[in-house]
Amino acid sequence: MGRVTGKVALITGGATGLGRADAVALVAEGARVCITDINADAGNALAAELNASHPGSALFLTQDVRDEARWIEVINSVRQHFGGLHVLVNNAGIVIIGTPESTTLEQFRLQQAVMTEGVFLGCKYAIPVIKDSGGGSIINMSSVASHLGYPVFYAYGAAKGAVRSMTKAIAVHCQMQKANVRCNSVHAGAMHTHMVEAATKELGMEMSVYDQTPSGLGKPEDVANLVLFLASDESRFINGAELLIDNALVVQ
């Protein structure tokens, strides 16, 4: 217990799925978290749940990660409410199924805006605050789609590939600036979330197709355990890494 005691974390897209699991895991280990999402009902419910078990541990703010002005407001609110920021989890994401030929320009731009521009803005405005708070960790959620050729996830994979690249540049930049801010990317395979379930149904597939015996289908908690490690000082020498959590899917 207490692996991240005293740390303040900001989790985008934190109301459901992987982000929710991250918030639960971080609070359980002593962190205070700001959850942001466009889903206000789910976000407020999660914050209330966390505060009921760990008083004062959670804050929810509505946020569209494409909005630069809102990023500035959110970062300032976190600093004012909790006194600093040590961990940023850029988790917000969206997937629209489409091949290189069927994807529209509007669909491509939307996914780039949420996942590429959202990560860019989060890192841009969080780095100086994390530095001023004594240092910490940025965790960017990428995907195995940045490693594998999934035609039906064309725009999604492009955005996650950008996240993979930006992560390394941020890590080196912060190291060169002696900012004491680490930055790593997490590349998850299929996890049992509503987003993955909706995508598989749209493709006419069953979730069981991802079952990788003996471990079965990945769970949000599997990713949250990795995020917890990267948020903690236990991972102090891990920087600029891309961490696969896919039960060997990429290497098969």
User: Which DSSP symbol is given to 62?
Assistant: E
Length of the chain: 252
d(CA 105, CA 209): 30
Q: Which residues contact 223 (CB under 8 A, 6 or more apart)?
A: 18, 21, 22, 186, 188, 191, 245
Q: Is 96 helix (H, G, I), strand (E, B) or coil?
A: coil
- From 125, 154, 156, 210, active-site residue: 156
Helices 17-28 and 220-231, axial angle in degrees (round to 10): 50
d(CA 119, CA 171): 14
d(CA 43, CA 9): 15
d(CA 33, CA 26): 8
Strand partners, 136: 181
- Cα 64 → chain centroid: 14
d(CA 12, CA 90): 6
Q: Which residues contact 68 (CB under 8 A, 6 or more apart)?
A: 121
Catalytic residue status for 150:
no
Q: Is 20 helix (H, G, I), strand (E, B) or coil?
A: helix
**Pairing mode, strands 32-37 and 8-12:** parallel
Active site residues: 156
